[in-house]
Structure 1
Amino acid sequence: MPHLRSLLADASQRLADAGVPSPDHDARELAAFALDVDRIPVGEVEVGPDQARRFEALLARREAREPLQHILGSSVFRYVTLQVRAGVFVPRPETEVVAQVAIDEAEAMAATGRRPLVVDLCCGTGAIALSVATEVPTAVVHAVDTSLDAVQLATINADASHAANVTVGHGDVTDPGVLAHLDGSVDVLVSNPPYIPAGAIPIDPEVRDYDPPSALFGGGEDGLDVPRAVVAAAVRLLRPGGLFVMEHADVQGAPTRELALRTGEFESIETRADLTGRDRMLVARRR
């Protein structure tokens, strides 16, 4: 029987040759999944024939650049394990930093005895909404998405996380009436909307071939049609002093600040970076 160490070495090399950006990590994740263990055992471990065949099948899928999250059926985002599936945008690690800003604001409010009201627009799997809800248990969180597949999946993830303080609903951020019952009362509005310009085709096959276009392309030559709608919704929904946080591409810092500035309704407008130092989000406070 083959040994796990040799299988992992071969798998890492194959994934590297296929252009997978994190071959060692992905090989270990696939092996753990094939062996049905939480983590890879140490030492010389023999792998049975059925396990080896299963590992080979999983490896071939990743070698063909199917997203690791789709193969495993789940993804960890901060402290939440999310179901993922084809047709719904896979959450990215850089968005964890965006969620952190919203969580920090909600936590500061909760520390004063208030129940923060948080809205997550374009919620996808529910990654941001559920992170806020689980890390700030007194928060009341409303999450919406225009994709019915995303709404269904976010609802499943909310149920699995036992996050009773989250409400997931179908809503189009370009609709000026979305969440109208919350107008002027929201403490934190956070969003990771689609923002890729129409002509900027993603290079990575995992993104280009698997993430739904509606979750990638923001509309218009600059990709900011949907983010413009998010800014407008933030003006309407946030209470005076409420915090607005919106993810964007690393080249969209200045244009998104301009979107907020033009409304005349925000102050303390700034661009913040992700952990790699790239411009990642617009942060502003409602006047």
Structure 2
Amino acid sequence: MRSSAARREAAARLRDAGVASPERDADLLLAHVLDVGLGRLPLVDDLEPAQHETYAALVARRAAREPLQHLTGSAAFRHVELAVGPGVFVPRPETELLAGWAIDAALALGRPAVVVDLCTGSGAIARAIADEVPGADVHAVELDEGALAWAERNLAGTGVDLRHGDLATAFDDLVGTVDVVVCNPPYIPLEAWESVAAEARDHDPHLALFSGQDGLDAIRVLEQRAALLLRPGGVVGAEHADVQGESAPEVFAATGRWRDVADHRDLAGRARYVTARLAR
């Protein structure tokens, strides 16, 4: 079969299934099957029968709203490639902004930074920091055992101190010594179940998604833990839902422990993450 025809058919099927980016997903799946870069797809004239069969099977799974990254087995995050699959939250492009903030904060110190990544999931943020901040002392923790296995794989050989545990009690040995705390916590309100995209709702661990009736339970715990872990003047950053642009910063501002509390928008102009500095 002509590869161009197969791509058109795949994109049409994905579009009918409600996939947000049908053409790109169709191309990425075919590039995965052929083991070539996207730029080489136009150079492929015909698919062998086995290639077309494999491609059709992957397209069918994507049409059933299985995450694209589960089908390819990887997710790009800043300058690194992460292994992902069932049992771990797939890192989103929006989170790269939060990771970038943490990287900049660590680099601005002018000395080796102590950085803690709470709720590390796949290890995406910790891996990016280890990759982009030379000499950083990076620590990460994950509660879910399934996600922890993926983090172990992604952080192997990076020097990151990865632990199994709860963000509420993690790193007692680092209390008062940390420069940067960063976290992509669960933040979806339980009542918003029906509004969550099928890829996340049906495939991402619910521990990584939902956080109480207002979605802020984990952020409240994060605020308390970061206040203990950070040295005076240390900084914390946490992702949140776009509707929490006022409520998430208020979690920090209301305690009186923080200054420079600020919210930040993503590239689409939506409220995306909050940062704050521990008062001296």
Structure 1 residue corresponding to 2:164, chosen from 154, 167, 170: 170
Find the counterpart in structure 1 of residue 258 from structure 2.
266
Q: Taking structure 1 as the reference length, what is the TM-score of the superposition?
A: 0.94
- 1:42: Cα distance to partner? 2.3
Q: Structure 2 regions of 5+ residues with no counterpart?
A: none
Structure 2 residue 225 is matched with structure 1 residue 225: no
Q: 2:197 aligns with which of 204, 210, 218?
A: 204
Determine the structure 2 residue equivalent to 1:150: 147
Which residue of structure 1 aligns with residue 87 of structure 2? 87
Q: CA deviation at 1:252?
A: 1.0
Cα RMSD of the aligned pairs, angstroms, is: 1.1
- More off after superposition, 64-73 vs 33-42: 33-42
- State how 1:159-198 maps to structure 2 within 5 Å: 159=156, 162-164=157-159, 166-175=160-169, 178-198=170-190
Match of 1:98 in 2: 98
Q: 1:250 corresponds to which residue?
A: 242
Where 1:271 maps in the other structure, the secondary structure is strand
The equivalent of 1:71 in structure 2 is 71
Q: CA deviation at 1:44?
A: 5.6
Deviates more, 1:15-24 or 1:44-53: 44-53
C-alpha deviation, 1:262, in angstroms? 2.2
Partner residue in 2 for 1:17? 16
The CA deviation string for residues 130-165 of structure 1, in whole angstroms up to 9 with x for no partner, is 001101121111000111122221111012xx312x
The alpha carbon displacement at 1:82 in A equals 0.6
In structure 1, how many angstroms separate the alpha carbons of the residues matched to 2:224 and 2:88? 25
* 1:120 aligned onto 2:114: no
Q: 1:193 to 1:44 in 2, by over 3 A?
A: closer
What whole-Å deviation, never above 9, does each CA across 1:206-251 have from its counterpart, x for those lacking one?
01111111110012x2111111000101100011111110000111
Length-normalised TM-score, structure 2: 0.96
Q: 2:275 aligns with which of 251, 263, 283?
A: 283
Q: What is the DSSP-based 3-state SS (H/G/I as helix, E as strand, rest coil) of the residue aligned with 1:239?
A: strand
Identity %: 47
SS of residue paired to 1:55: helix
- Rounded to whole Å, the distance in 1 between the matches of 2:2 and 2:47 is 6
What is the match of residue 56 of structure 1?
A: 56
Distance 2:44 2:163 in 1: 50
Spell out, residue by residue over 1:42-69, the C-alpha distance to the aligned partner (whole angstroms, 9 max, x if none).
2461111111111111111111111001
Q: 1:155 to 1:44 in 2, by over 3 A?
A: closer
1:38 Cα offset (Å): 3.0
- Which residue identity does 2:19 align to in structure 1? V
Deviation at 1:265, TM superposition (A): 1.3
Whole-Å Cα distance in 2 between the matches of residues 253 and 117 of structure 1?
A: 28
